[in-house]
Amino acid sequence: MRATEIPPDAKLIAENRKARHDYILFDTFEAGIVLLGTEVKAIREGRVNLRDSYGRVEKGEIFLYNAHISPYSHRGYADHEPMRRRKLLLHKGELRKLIGKVLERGMTLVPVRMYFKSGFVKVVVSLAKGKREHDKRETLRRREADREARAAIKQQ
């Protein structure tokens, strides 16, 4: 699956648009995520922010850090910590592949989007390498040139 696509039966919850600006994205993987009940209810309300979140390998497992899920609005005594780490669920082969690339090549794991698929919350995680400042400027320059070319073609 590509990072730009979500399955047709899925409902988009949150997207990390800043990831494309700050990182060069390579392989993408769909992962499940371990959540508490109040977190799922807050996600259904759309109270998620993936902006500064990242994945980290710990003891052969991958965890999602800094994904902010605000508290559920109609909570009673049960509550969750908004910035807690959350375990990502992947197949063993995918897990080995990700761990190998993250440890060996110095890449990072960046969540690109979160959505509901068949009632389950899924996170698209992408292997990424940070862009330098000149890479960001080059991307903006290329995008601007494409926009101008499309406008010129449209005017003819």
Domain CATH number, residue 85: 2.40.280.10
In which residue are the tokens 């799922």 written?
A: 40
Burial class (CB in 10 A: 0-12, 13-18, 19+), 64: buried
Exposure b/e, 116-148, CB count within 10 A at least 16 = b: beeeebbbbbbbbeebeeeeeeeeeeeeeeeee
Structural domain contains residue 147: yes
Q: How many domains does the chain have?
A: 1
pLDDT digits (tens, 9 = 90+) for 93-148: 888 888 888 887 778 888 988 888 888 888 888 888 877 777 778 888 888 888 88
Q: Band of the pLDDT at 3, cuts 50, 70, 90?
A: very low
Query: Residue 71, SS3?
Result: coil
pTM of the model: 0.75
Structural domain contains residue 43: yes
Structural domain contains residue 3: no
Distance from C-alpha of 111 to C-alpha of 129, rounded to nearest angstrom: 13
Query: Residue 81, SS3?
Result: coil
pLDDT digits (tens, 9 = 90+) for 30-80: 889 888 888 888 888 888 888 888 888 888 888 989 888 888 777 767 677
